[in-house]
Amino acid sequence: MQLYNNLSAKERAALIEQAGKDRLTISFYAYAKIGNPKIFRNDLFLAWNELDVLGRIYVAHEGINAQLSLPADQFEAFKAHLDSISFLENVRLNIAVEHDNFAFLKLKIKVRDKIVADGLNDDTFDVTDIGVHVDAERFNELIEDENTVLVDMRNHYESEIGHFKNAVTPDVDTFRESLDIIEEDLKDHKEDKNLVMYCTGGIRCEKASAYYKHKGFKNVFQLEGGIINYVRQIKEKGLENKFIGKNFVFDERRSERISDDVIAHCHQCGNPADLHTNCANDACHLLFIQCEECKKKMEACCSTTCMEVNRLPYEEQKEMRKGQGNSNDIFKKGRAGHLPFKQDLRNIFDSFETLKS
Ligand SMILES: [Zn+2]
Ligand SMILES: [Zn+2]
């Protein structure tokens, strides 16, 4: 019985080439209660390996998170297999618009503690008791309701370049932080307000909605499939777009323009800009917003210090980094005192108050 991938990436690429078939790239997730993730994982591997599925899939006691590709002509069989699993029956599948036959070259199904590293180590609540899913049309109605508080569940570097009109955008670096801030700020409105949430692809809101229901919020809603699915529906159904700016995405593109508005500012000169730069200094890699002019002038660095380090020969830079640990520990994403136009910490309650006034 083969339970693990046994072809190299190179061998696999050759096979895909040879088969000459179009592959679909699909992603999906579901929170569920899985008693024995190891057994579930092995069952999936046996069934999907048979269908020539490739991808990166995480399985945990709390559910499944999958990104995969498969030959287009195996789609029906794959769908039938998903439908045979009670919590995956009719699960929403995101099918990528752009084809890439070589998106994945191995089938890796891993058992993890969690399907998303969300920092929420609280297993006292039921992750499957989620809020109400709303589509783009209903979402547009809900966010016009004066009884609604619309919350962006993403991190500040994501919402800074684009978000829904009137959304509260907590100034946080992690999902875990925003959960507490929002709960605190809305503690007197657990029963009378609609708590409407959104994130990039919907997965963060699944967990957040279950968490808030557990904390006593009565009217919890989330945008199904997140901003990505919203934009698709807006285009397909000709609905009004209420998202301004760019959607931050987690691939090499970094962001996707949704409306023409440029809502952010260059962190170095303050001019309108909404393009993220990863500081070119390998010891820094700060993620910050930089306009084209500053990018040229600063050689894609966040500070003159980084610029000087980045000009040194590579070996010398390596020597300097010794014992400094991981660059991500040196700076937090998008936060550094030396960036004059990076907004200060805002209290979510201030923005909530502004909304009401
Ligand atoms: Zn600038
Ligand atoms: Zn830097």
How far apart, in whole angstroms, are the C-alpha atoms of residue 108 and residue 259?
37
Is the dihedral angle over the CA atoms 317, 321, 326, 329 positive or is it negative? negative
Q: For residues 185 and 236, is the Cβ–Cβ distance under 8 A?
A: no
How far apart, in whole angstroms, are the C-alpha atoms of residue 56 and residue 58?
7
Around 305, how many Cα atoms within 13 Å sit in the side-chain half-sphere?
Answer: 8
Tens of pLDDT, residue by residue over 205-241, are 999 999 999 999 999 999 999 999 999 999 999 999 9
In angstroms, what is the span from residue 116 Cα to ligand 2's centroid?
A: 28
DSSP secondary structure letters along 107-149: EEEEE-S-SS-------SS-TTS--EEE-HHHHHHHTTSTTEE
pLDDT at 310: 93
In angstroms, what is the span from residue 133 Cα to ligand 2's centroid?
A: 41
Other CB atoms within 10 Å distance of the CB of residue 106:
14
Q: What is the average pLDDT across 148-175?
A: 92
Span of 237-241, 274-278, 321-325 with lowest mean pLDDT: 321-325
How far apart, in whole angstroms, are the C-alpha atoms of residue 75 and residue 52?
11
In angstroms, what is the span from residue 258 Cα to ligand 2's centroid?
A: 29
Tokens found for residue 342? 């990076």
Average pLDDT, the chain: 88
Q: Which listed ligand is nearest to 294 at the C-alpha?
A: 1
In angstroms, what is the span from residue 156 Cα to ligand 2's centroid?
A: 19
Q: For residues 189 and 355, is the Cβ–Cβ distance under 8 A?
A: no
Q: Look up 199 and say whether it is catalytic.
A: yes
DSSP secondary structure letters along 150-209: EEE-S-HHHHTTEEETT-B----SSHHHHHHHHHHHTGGGTTTSEEEEE-SSSHHHHHHH
Percent of the chain with pLDDT over 70: 90
Tens of pLDDT, residue by residue over 45-91, are 999 999 999 999 999 999 999 999 999 999 999 999 999 999 999 99
Q: What is the average pLDDT across 310-327?
A: 78
In degrees, rounded to 5, the angle at the alpha carbon of residue 39 between the alpha carbons of residues 35 and 42 is: 145
How far apart, in whole angstroms, are the C-alpha atoms of residue 306 and residue 122?
40
- Is residue 355 scored above 80 in pLDDT? no
pLDDT at 323: 67
- Is residue 22 scored above 70 in pLDDT? yes
pLDDT at 334: 53
Q: Which listed ligand is nearest to 289 at the C-alpha?
A: 1
Q: Which listed ligand is nearest to 284 at the C-alpha?
A: 2
Q: What's phi and psi for 269, nearest 5 deg? A: -120, -15
In angstroms, what is the span from residue 301 Cα to ligand 1's centroid?
A: 11
Around 262, how many Cα atoms within 13 Å sit in the side-chain half-sphere?
Answer: 12
pLDDT at 70: 94
How far apart, in whole angstroms, are the C-alpha atoms of residue 53 and residue 27?
12
Taking the complete model, does pTM exceed 0.85, yes or no? Answer: no
How far apart, in whole angstroms, are the C-alpha atoms of residue 321 and residue 312?
12
Q: What is the average pLDDT across 270-286?
A: 91
Which one from 199, 205, 266, 306 is the annotated catalytic residue? 199
